[in-house]
Amino acid sequence: MEKSRDEAAGFVTAAGGGDEEVSFGRLSVFFNARYESFDRDRKEADEERAYEGDTWGGQFGADYRITDAWVVGALVGFDHTSTNFDADVQATGFFPFPNEGGVQTHGGFLNIYSSYNITDGLYVEGTLGGGYTDYAFDRDVLYLDSGRATPIPVIAEGDTWGVQGSASGGVGYDFYFDAFSIGPYVRANYTRTYVDGFTEDDTNGSGLQMTFGEDNTDSFTSVVGLGASYAISTDFGVIIPQGRIEWEHEFARDRRTIEAQFVNDASGTTFLTRTDSPDRNYFNAAASVLVLLPNGWMAFADYEALLAYHELERHRGTRSASASSSDRRSGEGVASGPRRAAGGLPQPRSRVWGLNCWAPRQRARANALT
C-alpha cells in the first residue's frame, strides 16, 4: 500500500534497494555563498561619480518545518563590498589620479523568515531582518581653488558605521503540468539605512580634509514576477532548471542631500552634495538550477542580472548547499534514496530571502506527497 502510494507520487527506486525510505526531515541547515559585480557610468549631467566594484559574502542558517505547509527559519550572514570611483575628466593642465578613491565595507546581518502553503498552489512568505556595517572611505582628488591655479593633491581617509533594517512579504500561485510548473507572484520590500557622519583624516597634509553629515535612506519597492521550472529525473537525483523575470518599482527612495564642511574652514561654510535620482522602474532576470539528492541533500546555483536601470550594470551569483534531517519509515521494496520524478515545485521568489524561503517549501511538498 505504501509502496504503491510512493510510486503514484513519482518516486523511483535507487540501485541496490533497501527496506527504508528516506524523505526530507523537519530540520534543515544550509550555507549560501554570494558574489556580485556592479558598474555605473556617468554622464555630464549626473551628480554622482562613476564607480565599479564587487561584493562577496556568505550566509549560514537553519529552518524547521512546523507542519507540512509551514516553515520558519533564521540565518546570519556577512559580506564585504569594495567600490572604486572612476577618475575625473582630464583637462588642460589638470591630470587627475587614475582613480579618486573608494569605499570598503564589512557587514553582518540577521534575518528571520517564514513560508506557508495555503493550498497546493497558493503560498505566502516573508522576512524580517537587520544588520550592521563598517565603512572605510578614501578620497584621492586634485583640488582647484576659484582661480583654477596649481592643483593641490588631497589624500584623505575616514571611517564610520551604519545600520539597516528590512522587511519583505509576498504571495504567489503555482500551476502544475506534470514535470512543468509556472506561476506569478507579487512582493513588497522595505529597507531603511542609516550611515553615521564622520570626519576625514588628512593623510598627506593638504589641510583640505572634510566632515560629512549623516545619511538616511528609505526604500520601498514592489515586485511583480513570473517564474517557471521543469523537473528532470536522473539516476542520482532530480535536476530542476528554472527561470524568472521581475518588474520592480521604487516608491520611496529619492535624491538625498548630504552636508559637508572643510575641517579647517573658520567660516564653517556648509556644502550640500546631492545624489542622483534613482530609477523608478527596472527589471531583474534570472536563471538557476536546483539539484535534489537522496538523504535530504540539496544544491542550488542562481544567476541574476539587473536590466533597464539608468547607467547601472549589476550581475549577481549565488550558490547554496542544504542538508535536512531524515524522516525514516519502513516500506517493503522502497529504496533508501527516493527521488521525485514529477514536477510541482515552486520557484525561488526573492533576492531578499531567495532560497531560504523557497527550499523549505520544496521539502514540505516532497513530504506531503510521500
Which DSSP string do the residues of 80-120 spell out, in sequence order?
EEEEEEEPPPPBTTB---SEEEEEEEEEEEEEEEEEEESSS
CB 311 within 8 A of CB 205: no
Strand partners, 22: 328
The answer to whether residue 138 scores a pLDDT higher than 70 is yes
Q: For residue 334, what pLDDT is reported?
A: 27
Closest CA to 26 of 353, 325, 331: 325
* pLDDT bracket for residue 282 (50, 70, 90): very high
Closest CA to 370 of 20, 120, 21: 21
**Cα–Cα distance measured from residue 284 to residue 304, given in angstroms and rounded to the nearest whole number:** 7
pLDDT, tens digit, for every residue of 197-236?
999 999 998 999 999 999 999 999 999 999 999 999 988 8
* pLDDT bracket for residue 170 (50, 70, 90): very high
Decide which of 25 and 59 is more confident: 59
Mean pLDDT of 66-88: 91
Mean pLDDT of 99-113: 92
Mean pLDDT of 341-345: 31
**Average pLDDT score, the chain:** 80
Q: For residue 147, what pLDDT is reported?
A: 59
The answer to whether residue 340 scores a pLDDT higher than 50 is no
Percent of the chain with pLDDT over 70: 75
Mean pLDDT of 22-27: 62
CB 124 within 8 A of CB 171: yes
The answer to whether residue 122 scores a pLDDT higher than 60 is yes
Mean pLDDT of 137-158: 80
Instruction: Kindly report which listed range (116-120, 199-203, 327-331) carries the lowest average pLDDT score.
Output: 327-331
**Cα–Cα distance measured from residue 303 to residue 358, given in angstroms and rounded to the nearest whole number:** 16
* pLDDT bracket for residue 196 (50, 70, 90): very high
CB 168 within 8 A of CB 210: no
* pLDDT bracket for residue 166 (50, 70, 90): very high
* pLDDT bracket for residue 331 (50, 70, 90): very low
Mean pLDDT of 85-101: 70
Mean pLDDT of 1-17: 35
Per DSSP bridges, beta strands 175-177 and 152-173 are unpaired
